[in-house]
Amino acid sequence: MTEENADQADMLKWAKGYAHKHGWTLNTDEKQLMTVIRGLVRNKTKFGRPYCPCRIRSGDEEKDRAIECPCIFHKEEVAKQGHCHCNLYYKEP
Ligand code: SF4
């Protein structure tokens, strides 16, 4: 397994665990799911933090803490829309 694949597997495992803890599921569309996972890994590698791949970073570390996955918006989004903005976490399978 390459380091990149290992990082993706770790991120996926972490996201699964987090979803499970909240009684949610991950996106069942494997392609969409892995696009988000890869985006999170990329941001973590590049910026040191798993910033949301679907939101714009301001570049201000303090402000951007809000968009570190899991972002400050996701609970409300899952509750209201059934999924987070990135379509990573889903209320229902
Ligand atoms: S929108 Fe979803 S994937 Fe993006 S940071 Fe929030 S919880 Fe993570």
Residue whose CA lies nearest to ligand 1 atom number 4 = 52
Residue percentage of the chain with pLDDT more than 90: 92
pLDDT tens-digit map of 48-69: 999 999 999 999 999 999 999 9
State in Å: Cα 24 to ligand 1 middle.
13
85 in contact with ligand 1, CB cutoff 6 A: yes
Q: State the residue range of the domain holding 35.
A: 3-90
CATH number at residue 50: 3.90.460.10
Could you read off the pLDDT of 72-82 as tens digits, one per residue? 999 999 999 99
Total domain count for the chain?
Answer: 1
Amino acid at 66: A
Q: Give 88 Cα–ligand 1 centroid separation in angstroms.
A: 7
**Span from the CA of 33 to the centroid of ligand 1 (angstroms):** 11
Which 3 state secondary structure label does DSSP give 65? helix
- Residue 46: how many other CB atoms lie within 10 Å: 9
Query: Is residue 68 classed as helix, strand or coil in its secondary structure?
Result: strand
